[in-house]
Structure 1
């Protein structure tokens, strides 16, 4: 919507309470109760002064706008009024001139009130409700905001509405229990998951002794499992349920068709070098050691496992051509970076298959280069290869792992000491229990003797009384 046409609301995006009016709007009147509540929770009401524009011709605002009060004119490009609509009439039950881009300009004739709804969210909820799968789930939707959170996730935020509809139709619902392992580190990738209800824990194996490092906790609306599907490598972490819940999953085939194709774009070496000449940057996502031995001149190195942490340091105004040996790690990096709004493409086939070895601009480490003192902070290659600063980052990462392992070992020793103390306490408890049993036995014997003595004294007293008589 053109920002200079709309008067600011009298109050900040207030909620509208006229439920009987809203429930009668089309197509809100066909939504299930839970979907309707989700729409209402995101709906906003705006006051429009007479003479102000609701939207202009050619606008793309992805909003469904309903007239709740007042009168609005529709005006074409020549300035001619092509129609008028009044609140409370049957046409006002439908969104105003809802085509995108807008075919006409809408102008308030009188002071008016409008309701604004996210068109994508409305379309998604309609699709879910009206599909066979959606109808089967109407009575069990426990987390009403999971769809909204899902659409705002990095994996899906740029997905076109038609693909969102196809995605929802392909999703499968899976009920899970606390403790269930959803994906295991080292397994092949088979599904992409969205949490509809419940919480998951993300862990990664840090040593050969089966010790897991906790990495994160995921909540409803969060997505996981995409990296193995994008790069066609094995799972790099284990995700298990912390609570009972429900997951929505998408098969690898459908994931590739609906999500990967929208995020991962391939170019050959000629197109890649042309993009670099126009200001693009080579981004090598191999490990620092691989990068130091063989790399493209003026490329920068961000190993795949660091992409998430270092994405904020990349220039959003630049185009990045991502490369690795085969293209698999590049595809995973491209998916992650495109989620964060960066313009990226992948060198098709990778450096092993796409770049002729006799071309200039390819740097291989030489003995002289290996003995050259590196410039501090250098991350790019130019002429003779300079070691990247990522060697320091990798060393720091490994140092942290060693520190964690030492802490783990110390915790194990502490646990052994605690277990030893517990065993001693259990022995003492057993001895006390045995003593208690002996005490109770003696107490019962003394009580029995006391009762016998009492009865004997009573008998003796009776005998004395008889003799006295």
Structure 2
């Protein structure tokens, strides 16, 4: 059985602050497979870094060289293959069975950045002194952060500032301009939206959840309010730094000509304006999903198809593209708004 203590035998876990190992153990998946099972295949990237606990695996390099890794060897304390090079090897189980464990490669890479920053930080750093560090795992697992290069991970943590909050505090208010986004380090919060019949709760938030980013992406007023449902601690990121560190890497812009090509190849055009705006001007075949309703209407979207979001100028389409990208969709934001597409299509 793999424990936090036994995890110390494996690299790079043996370089981590010991109190972080139980957190990482929660993210690890153990496996048991039979002889002949292929763990890595040339030409196919693996999303997980894998380790050997018991048994033997044969690894064949792209140039034909091969080696056998046994669980009794020192080599088994290292990954069977660097995740970034997993597409360059074949790794096949050659013992009757193999037991091992794996962890998301991006999470592991980004956690190494966090760990190094934590160890180098001063004792009075806002990164230290937390009762729990589940928020770090939650943040690093968020789709938007997983899409970032490692250099930006360090900058995000360096830019975070703590903000103590209390039960009932309204952190952001619907209709106001966005100046910051937040990560919940401790405590719980709820998301509320104004509807015709009154205010309604639409989501709950907890440690590791990122919120307040949509208004920073779209440069438009907040579309919801967030209130604390317990005392807690938030880690705050200033809007300009958010744009520099996250927005530019998550939102993929697309020209109208390229958008038309993707639509011709089966892509879906999503108009994220409000229903009344869509009624006044629409593109045939376009689906109207207002940006404020995207989370509630995800089942209408096919994750296997490319999505192009559009709005009048591009602000709301960027916000929608950011959200959909963080949810795993292949999504692009249309440059120049709807009129640029109408002009290109000569509609």
Tell me the TM-score range normalised by the shorter chain. 0.7 to 0.9
User: Is 2:20 the counterpart of 1:31?
Assistant: no
Q: 1:61 aligns with which of 35, 46, 59?
A: 46
Tell me which moved more, 227-236 or 115-124: 115-124
Q: 2:75 aligns with which of 72, 80, 91?
A: 91
In the TM superposition, what is the alpha-carbon distance from 1:198 to its structure 2 partner? 0.3
Matching residue of 1:113: 99
Q: 1:172 aligns with which of 153, 156, 161?
A: 161
Q: 1:276 aligns with which of 252, 263, 276?
A: 263
Matching residue of 2:170: 181
Q: For residues 44 and 308 of structure 1, what CA distance do their matches in structure 2 show? A: 29
Does structure 2 retain, via aligned residues, the 8 Å contact 1:202–1:239? yes
Does structure 2 retain, via aligned residues, the 8 Å contact 1:326–1:350? yes
In the TM superposition, what is the alpha-carbon distance from 1:28 to its structure 2 partner? 1.3
Gaps (5+ residues) in structure 2?
A: none
Q: For residues 163 and 105 of structure 1, what CA distance do their matches in structure 2 show? A: 32
Does structure 1 retain, via aligned residues, the 8 Å contact 2:144–2:250? no
In the TM superposition, what is the alpha-carbon distance from 1:32 to its structure 2 partner? 1.6
Does structure 2 retain, via aligned residues, the 8 Å contact 1:129–1:138? no
Q: Secondary structure at the match of 1:296?
A: coil
Q: Secondary structure at the match of 2:168?
A: coil
CA deviations on 1:401-424 (whole Å, 9 max, x unpaired) are: xxxxxxxxxxxxxxxxxxxxxxxx
Q: For residues 290 and 56 of structure 2, what CA distance do their matches in structure 1 show? A: 59
Q: Secondary structure at the match of 2:26?
A: helix
In the TM superposition, what is the alpha-carbon distance from 1:313 to its structure 2 partner? 0.9
Alignment CA distance shift 1:206-1:49 (3 Å):
closer
| Higher gyration radius (CA) | 1
User: Is 2:285 the counterpart of 1:298?
Assistant: yes
Q: For residues 191 and 251 of structure 2, what CA distance do their matches in structure 1 show? A: 25
Tell me which moved more, 250-259 or 129-138: 129-138
Does structure 2 retain, via aligned residues, the 8 Å contact 1:282–1:296? no
CA deviations on 1:201-224 (whole Å, 9 max, x unpaired) are: 3234569xxx85444331112221
User: Is 2:317 the counterpart of 1:330?
Assistant: yes
Q: Secondary structure at the match of 2:50?
A: strand
Matching residue of 1:381: none
Matching residue of 2:213: 226
CA deviations on 1:415-437 (whole Å, 9 max, x unpaired) are: xxxxxxxxxxxxxxxxxxxxxxx
Matching residue of 1:203: 192
Q: Secondary structure at the match of 1:25?
A: coil
Q: Secondary structure at the match of 2:182?
A: strand
After TM superposition, list the pairs within 5 Å mapping 1:39-54 onto structure 2.
39-49=24-34, 52-54=37-39
How many residues align? The count is 341
Q: For residues 271 and 38 of structure 2, what CA distance do their matches in structure 1 show? A: 49
In the TM superposition, what is the alpha-carbon distance from 1:351 to its structure 2 partner? 3.4
Q: For residues 272 and 241 of structure 2, what CA distance do their matches in structure 1 show? A: 26
After TM superposition, list the pairs within 5 Å mapping 1:230-269 onto structure 2.
230-269=217-256
Does structure 1 retain, via aligned residues, the 8 Å contact 2:168–2:229? yes
In the TM superposition, what is the alpha-carbon distance from 1:180 to its structure 2 partner? 3.1
Q: Secondary structure at the match of 1:57?
A: coil
Alignment CA distance shift 1:293-1:32 (3 Å):
same
Q: For residues 173 and 21 of structure 1, what CA distance do their matches in structure 2 show? A: 34
Alignment CA distance shift 1:58-1:352 (3 Å):
closer
Matching residue of 1:124: 110
In the TM superposition, what is the alpha-carbon distance from 1:44 to its structure 2 partner? 3.4
Q: For residues 224 and 180 of structure 2, what CA distance do their matches in structure 1 show? A: 14
In the TM superposition, what is the alpha-carbon distance from 1:176 to its structure 2 partner? 2.6
Q: For residues 269 and 42 of structure 2, what CA distance do their matches in structure 1 show? A: 41
In the TM superposition, what is the alpha-carbon distance from 1:62 to its structure 2 partner? 3.1
Gaps (5+ residues) in structure 1?
A: 1-14, 362-469
Q: Secondary structure at the match of 2:31?
A: strand
Q: For residues 264 and 279 of structure 2, what CA distance do their matches in structure 1 show? A: 23
Which of the pair has the greater relative contact order for Cα pairs under 8 Å at 6+ separation? 2
Task: Determine which structure has the larger helix proportion and give its number.
Answer: 1
After TM superposition, list the pairs within 5 Å mapping 1:323-362 onto structure 2.
323-351=310-338, 355-356=342-343, 360-361=346-347
Alignment CA distance shift 1:46-1:248 (3 Å):
same
Does structure 1 retain, via aligned residues, the 8 Å contact 2:160–2:235? yes
Alignment CA distance shift 1:26-1:182 (3 Å):
same
Q: For residues 164 and 158 of structure 1, what CA distance do their matches in structure 2 show? A: 10
Task: Determine which structure has the larger strand proportion and give its number.
Answer: 2
